[in-house]
Structure 1
Amino acid sequence: MSERYLSTIEHGLTTEEVDQRLTAGLKNEPLPPLTRSVKQIFRDNLLTLFNCINVLLAGLVLLTGSYKNMLFLFVVIVNTAIGIFQEIRAKRQVDKLSLLSATKVQVRRDGQKVAIGQDEIVQDDLLLVTRGEQLPVDGLVRETTGLEVDESQITGEADPVIKGPGDELVSGSVILGGHGVVQATQVGHGSFIKQMARAAKQKRRTPSQLLTIINRIIKILTFTIIPLGAGLFVSTMMRGESQNRAILGTVAAMVGMIPEGLVLLTSVALAAGAFTLGRHQVLVRELPAIEALARVDTLCLDKTGTITSGKLVFERVEPWGQHGLPTVERQLAALVTAIDDDNETAQAIKTAFGQPHVQPTEVLPFSSSRKWSGATFDGRTYVMGAPEFIFETVPVELQARIKALAQQGYRVLVLAEVTALTTPKPAQPMTLGLILITDELRPHAKTTFGFFANQDVALKVISGDNPVTVASIAQRAEIKNADQLVDMSQVGVKPDYDQLVADYTVFGRVTPQQKEQLIKAYQRGGHTVAMTGDGVNDLLALKQADCSIAMASGSEATKSLADFVLIDSNFDAMVQVLNEGRRVINNIERVAALYLIKTMYSVALTLIFIFMSHSYPFEPIQLTPISSLMVGIPTFFLALQPDYTRITGRFMKQVMEIAVPAAICVVGYIMVIMILGNKFQLDFETTATLSVLMTGIFSLNALLIAARPLNRFKIGLVVLMAALFVLVFLFAGRIFSLVNLLDWSLAVIYLPLMISAYPVFIILQNGLGKRILSRINWR
């Protein structure tokens, strides 16, 4: 390092020096984007296995010259286009919110403090770092009043590390306490930033249950469709059928097996959910997180920013013993100035007393694990913080006074003189006074927490503050069982966390490691847990939770880990997040059964007709009215309906209750139609028309059940689809290769079938479906 550069510690790089480094490529790289590029969206939506199969099937139909039977490809194209449009729309919303939530880095250039983006940092820049920030580059500490750093992402050790001038810092490290000046030594590819940033944003949570089930179905179908289709084609050709008939039958069977609409509906619904939440100033970092939050039944709250607004107000100082008020206030003002922390407590005291001139000789900044800070000046040493973390044993009289003040809703800190700044507790503390701080309750806190309680979401408060104070604030916010509190500093080294979470609602004096253990205990109890936080002391808990929510006003490290970031730091937006998640997942679970009906009966019919002397009962064009009017169009509208009931993992239950009985009915009635066709010597077009009619009727019955609970809109939707289905037979029969049903000789056959359809379906659903569900625990 040059002497010339050493002399610029107060000046930083000049504009010319910055330009030289930019030209030389010594520039940091931007964080990995949260969304896929437009090119990737097009590629991943177009180049899917099912799309490739559909194109291949369309090519086979092209060989037959029956071009109208390629209509299914048009539906695939429209579906894919909708998926691409929705994802690009959601991407733009997420990218816009990402810019709003991105924290600027403070650097010193040309003697001025300026805020720049992480990708604008160049080598040798002087970064002004403070508590809660995550270091974006490798660096060297140049100046500090005492930095405490969490290097767990690099070393795996959770204990804070003290850094002084000349010490190295690695990208990805989190500043736990203090502040200082760090010189960027390695940027871009030369640092660990890419690996660290990617590791911070990659989710290590349980994958989406719904997407896991759907992907499992698709994986099974992938190994089923091609051999079944090949078997049906060979079987048809061996029976002496024409090549065109074999191709059309095989294509109809394979198209029926593909639930491409289900994949589309899931991705579109999640993307639309992210877009909707973006309009409410909520950044969704991962689409499956919407489902995770929808399944949450336990919400763990950090007091600051959720119950309270995050604003602290200094109330007063209570002198202790023989110490006078003016003296204690002067000592407190000098101590806060000497430590120069920028947390909420320090800011509130600075606002009340200003910042007198003081020259500290030793400083120990605040740490969330130590819970006190201190400094030496004018030959004396003072500390400020939580009493139980300053004293080995808090004096009885002092403890009684603190408890009384805490019950009044005050946050109580101790100002004490000590002989040395030893850790974990200072040496020989002598109380000078009590510092009383009040928290500002958020304006709509009661309404928000009342909503969660009504939605069967249990609220738990996990805070580093005094449990009595926290419980008092929780009671003001009308959180249920807020009087059930525990001081986590008194539970011992190895407490029974499972018993603690069963007995208490409010947890005070919680260390970051204890927060993580409490989350694990709730999860062991079978709960799906969401955690809110805005500080570095919440990092471990946010990582452990099934779903994590951070405030945009919180630390960069916290935001980089969270599934959701509340852009305007308004916790009331969580009402909309929970509702949107439940709406999306409930509706997908409800309508998924409609897609799987077609898959089930297509697989079953293919297996049956491989060994039968008849041709496959449909042509591709004849499936279009069923796929569009009974599944595609209505499910799109049903997926947008409000449904805010709690998620209960009903996916397979819905399939068993609706899809299996409907598929069995379709297969059974088509077999009856084949028998009647033989008896009355009906041609293929006639039996195919009757098969389409009955398949549509059973699909309509399934749609009616999936739409429950019914309202005017849903009834109107079902009636409209039924009317359009009838119109297809009356006016579009030729287009879809259907014969005219206004024939009394045919009516004698299909009217009894139609009349019996609904009661048979209901009997089968109530009998078979419930019997299977009673024997198997579908999750």
Structure 2
Amino acid sequence: MEFKSKYPGLTQLEAEDRKARGEANFSAPTTTRSFKQIFAENSLTLFNFINLIIAGFIIYTGSYKNLLFLGVIVTNTFIGIYQEIKAKRNIDALSLLNQAKVTVIRDYEKQEIPQDEVVKDDLILLRRGQQIIVDGIMIETEGLECDESQLTGESDPVDKYKGSEVFSGSFVVSGNGMMQATKVGADSYSYKMTLEAKETQGIYSELVMMMKKMIRILTFVIIPVGAMLMVTSMASGIHLDKAILSSTGAMIGMIPEGLVLITSVALAVGVIKLSQKNVLVQTMGSIETLARVDVLCLDKTGTLTSGKLKVVEAESLGADALGDEEFEMLVASVVHGLDEDNATGQALMDRFSQKKPELSVVSKLVPFSSARKWSATSFEGVGSFYMGAPEYLFDTFEPQQIEKMNEAMTHGLRIIAVAKSEQDIENNELPENLELLGFIYLEDEIRPEAPQTLAYFKQEDVDICIISGDHPETVSQIAKRAGVATSDKKIDMSQVKDEDIPRLVDEYRVFGRVSPEQKKMLVTALQEKDHVVGMTGDGVNDILALKKADCSIVMSNGSDAAKGVADFVLLDSNFDSLVGVVLEGRKVINNIQRVASLYLTKTVFSLVLAAVYIFIASTYPFQPIQLSPISSLTVGIPSFFLALRPNTAPIKGKFLKNVFEPALASGFSVVLFTLSIEVIGNLLNWSYDEKSTVTVWLTGLICFVALHFIARPLTWKIYGLLGALFGIFLAIFIFFTNIFSLVNIFDIKLMLVYVPMMVLAPFVFHKLKQFFHFLLNLEFKKKKK
């Protein structure tokens, strides 16, 4: 459609004037949090508030060395802020690169400008697949239909005519046109919706959400248990200062202060690594989601194949078959009259250029849409010509024609039928007297990286579904060439009732002639069967399915609208990048499982011991300063190494079960040894400091046993780390006993008790792990039933 001579648009001076008045567009808020939010949500946390209260009580006692734990809190906070800011900058930089351009009319000329350069009253050209970025009024349309499902929830395309309102956030599914911008920037509909969505946006990660839920539960336990411990300690005659130190020690132990931080850092580092591989992560939590995907739905065109179509042959058919040259000139007139900029339209216009002189004036046209699967154009005094999927234009074919189509489909070719009607187009409906003029055959090359990527997913037990609008036989042949093992399990979805779809996903893996609504239904049916579904696509016909999927991936050469709803955008359009995303997600989940077990070990034994010491007339065995080396050397420092470890093993078992099994085993091991020392120490008339020292030593040892188990597979680097950390732990008991309120650990009367316990520690840990493995398996089986 040419507007150059008819519409002047704004002058450059008028555009600059509107920009100066603040009437320019600007992007909606990014998917990342603002710097202010990052600082606030990493520092103004509930646990930090509790830690400050605990610090206040410790200051009251005058035992300032017990404030050492605050150093760990401050360090964790700054690390979290630094990593998230780094991830934000990477995401924002890639988002800017990925931002779509807009074509406007200025000074009678077409200009392609960034979205942020659009001003009020700009004339904007719209085409199929384009996201509408500002609100406006249609000036001209040629069969333009918009999907406003993101605004209204209704997926049916809405016809737009001259004078119709269009809203930002919708996208063009068919046709083209020109609109005048009326509301830009903060006044536009989509900006207000995005701002509202960001204000009500929840946790961006399933892992983070789980951790925060766990922490909320702990919060309701920590304060009352700590208060009760202090009251009962004072009631049993313990001095106030000592009661405060013991109860605050218990509360600090119960707080898994770095758990959410480490989870966020692991996700942030994953985002940074993927950005370096030209993968734009638009939702951070999607990294872990893709790692859990067990069914990956692929749109054939543009995903499995390059999307670069090439005309192989054009064949005239029918009783009054046209000559080859005349047929090709007719096709040229039709495709140039439609002037569609999708892959098929471009391939046809490149191949057919010489038009018939008598087919020059277009009186009406119907652009292609994924729902109709055909397009049409009327020429004055000649009639109408239709192009599209053969079975959507005709109900029956002659045997010879069926044979030609079958042969083409066995070679994976796409077939376009060309037909004629003597009538002009009416109501966007097919006439009854269509005459088949011929077939056009196109081929689409398979992405070079597709076979090896699909082989990887097969090896990792990820099921592959091919979902396409093409004929199922064509899709099946392409799938076979790409190495899809289930390529023979194909079905024509145009012959299927919606209520049969849940049953079909169990049997078939290649779905042809799929409508956009059916793509969404297929994803939903798979999800209802407890699958985690990933969806890849590139066009407007994929958007409903992309939004419904647990995880969505779009190539950078996809439509603006598809990229707008995707969790990942592969900026180099490299299908093989999916493997890297999956591996990065596995690292996050596997490593967070390990780290969570370390943090919860301290929470388990602190909580159980605090509850026990409420009812016994004895002082809680840990002071805050004594927990610092245990927290730092067996949890904090190793957790940073383990959280970023390249562990890409497949995700196995339930997350909570994997986390709690070692945490409960090590936590209750500490409880057993602590209570044993309490009893033995009282029998042997040990002082509080002696009981406390032996308890801290054995607790650290058990935590190192748990760390040795959790850190598997063990490498020389891990052994080096464990050796160095244990060396520091031992040095504390040799050189820094006064600082950490400890006594000489090498006293023979103490060694006679704790050395046998040291030997028993690994055995007790592994036996308790077997016990909790059995209990947790029973619990998960009950929940499953």
Partner deviation per Cα, 1:215-256 (whole Å, 9 max, x = no partner) = 221111111111111111222222222222122112111110
Q: CA deviation at 1:11?
A: 1.5
Counterpart CA distance in 2 for 1:486 and 1:201 is: 41
Residue of structure 2 in register with 1:367 after alignment: 369
Q: 1:376 is matched with which residue: 375, 378, 401? A: 378
Counterpart CA distance in 2 for 1:646 and 1:199 is: 37
Which has the higher mean CA deviation after the structures are superposed, 658-667 or 644-653? 644-653
Q: CA deviation at 1:79?
A: 0.9
Pair 1:527 & 2:531 matched: yes
Residue of structure 1 in register with 2:485 after alignment: 480
Partner SS state of residue 145, structure 1: strand
AA in 2 matched with 1:327 = E
Q: 1:769 is matched with which residue: 768, 773, 781? A: 773
Pair 1:393 & 2:390 matched: no
Against the structure 1 CA distance between its residues 635 and 76, is the aligned structure 2 distance closer, same or farther, given a 3 Å change threshold?
Answer: same
Partner SS state of residue 506, structure 2: helix
Pair 1:350 & 2:349 matched: yes
Partner SS state of residue 505, structure 2: helix
Partner deviation per Cα, 1:519-578 (whole Å, 9 max, x = no partner) = 111111111000001110011101111111112221121111111111122111101000
Q: Is 2:493–2:512's contact at 8 Å kept on the other side of the alignment?
A: yes
AA in 1 matched with 2:85 = I
Residue of structure 2 in register with 1:337 after alignment: 336
Q: 2:755 is matched with which residue: 733, 751, 758? A: 751
Q: Show the 5 A alignment for 1:481-560.
A: 481-491=486-496, 493-560=497-564
Partner SS state of residue 554, structure 2: strand
Q: Is 1:252–1:618's contact at 8 Å kept on the other side of the alignment?
A: yes
Residue of structure 1 in register with 2:304 after alignment: 307
Counterpart CA distance in 2 for 1:457 and 1:206 is: 27
Residue of structure 2 in register with 1:688 after alignment: 692
Partner SS state of residue 571, structure 1: coil
Partner deviation per Cα, 1:495-525 (whole Å, 9 max, x = no partner) = 5112211111111110001101111111111
Q: Is 1:389–1:425's contact at 8 Å kept on the other side of the alignment?
A: no
Which has the higher mean CA deviation after the structures are superposed, 527-536 or 708-717? 708-717
Structure 2 unpaired stretches of 5+? none
Counterpart CA distance in 2 for 1:667 and 1:563 is: 45
Which has the higher mean CA deviation after the structures are superposed, 110-119 or 30-39? 110-119
Counterpart CA distance in 2 for 1:586 and 1:592 is: 10
Partner deviation per Cα, 1:363-391 (whole Å, 9 max, x = no partner) = 11111111111101252210111011111
Q: 2:408 is matched with which residue: 405, 409, 412? A: 405
Q: 2:119 is matched with which residue: 122, 138, 143? A: 122
Against the structure 1 CA distance between its residues 583 and 424, is the aligned structure 2 distance closer, same or farther, given a 3 Å change threshold?
Answer: farther
Residue of structure 2 in register with 1:164 after alignment: 161
Which has the higher mean CA deviation after the structures are superposed, 164-173 or 80-89? 164-173
Partner SS state of residue 67, structure 2: helix
Pair 1:632 & 2:633 matched: no
Q: Show the 5 A alignment for 1:431-446.
A: 431-446=436-451
Counterpart CA distance in 2 for 1:404 and 1:564 is: 38
Against the structure 1 CA distance between its residues 201 and 263, is the aligned structure 2 distance closer, same or farther, given a 3 Å change threshold?
Answer: closer
Counterpart CA distance in 1 for 2:393 and 2:329 is: 21
Counterpart CA distance in 1 for 2:779 and 2:654 is: 15
Partner SS state of residue 107, structure 1: strand
Residue of structure 2 in register with 1:261 after alignment: 258
Partner deviation per Cα, 1:728-774 (whole Å, 9 max, x = no partner) = 22222222222111221211121121122121222222234324423
Q: CA deviation at 1:671?
A: 0.9
Partner SS state of residue 776, structure 1: helix
Q: 1:454 is matched with which residue: 453, 459, 483? A: 459
Counterpart CA distance in 2 for 1:309 and 1:22 is: 40
Q: CA deviation at 1:203?
A: 11
Residue of structure 2 in register with 1:11 after alignment: 8
Residue of structure 1 in register with 2:583 after alignment: 579
Counterpart CA distance in 2 for 1:90 and 1:329 is: 53
Q: CA deviation at 1:201?
A: 8.6
Residue of structure 1 in register with 2:75 after alignment: 78
Against the structure 1 CA distance between its residues 278 and 426, is the aligned structure 2 distance closer, same or farther, given a 3 Å change threshold?
Answer: farther
Q: Is 1:485–1:505's contact at 8 Å kept on the other side of the alignment?
A: yes
Counterpart CA distance in 2 for 1:372 and 1:412 is: 12
Counterpart CA distance in 1 for 2:709 and 2:4 is: 78
Counterpart CA distance in 1 for 2:65 and 2:103 is: 64
Which has the higher mean CA deviation after the structures are superposed, 105-114 or 127-136? 105-114
Against the structure 1 CA distance between its residues 206 and 612, is the aligned structure 2 distance closer, same or farther, given a 3 Å change threshold?
Answer: closer
State the identity %.
47
Partner SS state of residue 616, structure 2: coil
Against the structure 1 CA distance between its residues 718 and 166, is the aligned structure 2 distance closer, same or farther, given a 3 Å change threshold?
Answer: same
Q: CA RMSD in A?
A: 2.1
Against the structure 1 CA distance between its residues 145 and 768, is the aligned structure 2 distance closer, same or farther, given a 3 Å change threshold?
Answer: closer
Against the structure 1 CA distance between its residues 145 and 446, is the aligned structure 2 distance closer, same or farther, given a 3 Å change threshold?
Answer: same
TM-score by length of 1: 0.95
Residue of structure 2 in register with 1:603 after alignment: 607
Counterpart CA distance in 1 for 2:269 and 2:167 is: 39
Q: CA deviation at 1:592?
A: 0.9
Q: Show the 5 A alignment for 1:193-342.
A: 193-197=190-194, 208-321=205-318, 322-342=321-341
Partner SS state of residue 94, structure 1: helix
Counterpart CA distance in 2 for 1:13 and 1:391 is: 47
Partner deviation per Cα, 1:138-178 (whole Å, 9 max, x = no partner) = 21211222212212333433222222222222222211111
Q: CA deviation at 1:204?
A: 9.8
Partner deviation per Cα, 1:615-642 (whole Å, 9 max, x = no partner) = 1101111111111111111121112222
Against the structure 1 CA distance between its residues 772 and 347, is the aligned structure 2 distance closer, same or farther, given a 3 Å change threshold?
Answer: closer
Which has the higher mean CA deviation after the structures are superposed, 275-284 or 169-178? 169-178
Structure 1 unpaired stretches of 5+? 1-5
Residue of structure 1 in register with 2:419 after alignment: 416
Q: Is 2:303–2:538's contact at 8 Å kept on the other side of the alignment?
A: no
Q: 2:619 is matched with which residue: 596, 615, 632? A: 615
AA in 1 matched with 2:368 = F
Against the structure 1 CA distance between its residues 205 and 58, is the aligned structure 2 distance closer, same or farther, given a 3 Å change threshold?
Answer: closer
Counterpart CA distance in 1 for 2:707 and 2:129 is: 52
Q: 2:476 is matched with which residue: 459, 471, 474? A: 471
Pair 1:588 & 2:592 matched: yes
Q: Is 2:449–2:575's contact at 8 Å kept on the other side of the alignment?
A: no
Q: Is 2:68–2:628's contact at 8 Å kept on the other side of the alignment?
A: yes
Q: Is 2:204–2:284's contact at 8 Å kept on the other side of the alignment?
A: no
Q: Is 1:282–1:573's contact at 8 Å kept on the other side of the alignment?
A: yes
AA in 1 matched with 2:532 = T
Partner deviation per Cα, 1:259-305 (whole Å, 9 max, x = no partner) = 01111111111111111111111111111111111110000001122
Against the structure 1 CA distance between its residues 565 and 649, is the aligned structure 2 distance closer, same or farther, given a 3 Å change threshold?
Answer: farther
Q: CA deviation at 1:611?
A: 1.9
Residue of structure 1 in register with 2:738 after alignment: 734
AA in 1 matched with 2:414 = R
Partner SS state of residue 503, structure 1: coil
Which has the higher mean CA deviation after the structures are superposed, 541-550 or 34-43? 34-43
AA in 2 matched with 1:655 = V
Partner SS state of residue 146, structure 1: strand
Counterpart CA distance in 2 for 1:242 and 1:768 is: 38
TM-score by length of 2: 0.95
Against the structure 1 CA distance between its residues 554 and 197, is the aligned structure 2 distance closer, same or farther, given a 3 Å change threshold?
Answer: farther
Against the structure 1 CA distance between its residues 204 and 261, is the aligned structure 2 distance closer, same or farther, given a 3 Å change threshold?
Answer: closer
Partner SS state of residue 447, structure 1: helix
Q: CA deviation at 1:395?
A: 4.2
Partner deviation per Cα, 1:600-624 (whole Å, 9 max, x = no partner) = 1111111111222111101111111
Which has the higher mean CA deviation after the structures are superposed, 221-230 or 510-519? 221-230
AA in 2 matched with 1:473 = I
Q: Is 1:139–1:168's contact at 8 Å kept on the other side of the alignment?
A: yes
Q: CA deviation at 1:715?
A: 3.0
AA in 2 matched with 1:380 = G
- Aligned pair count reads 773
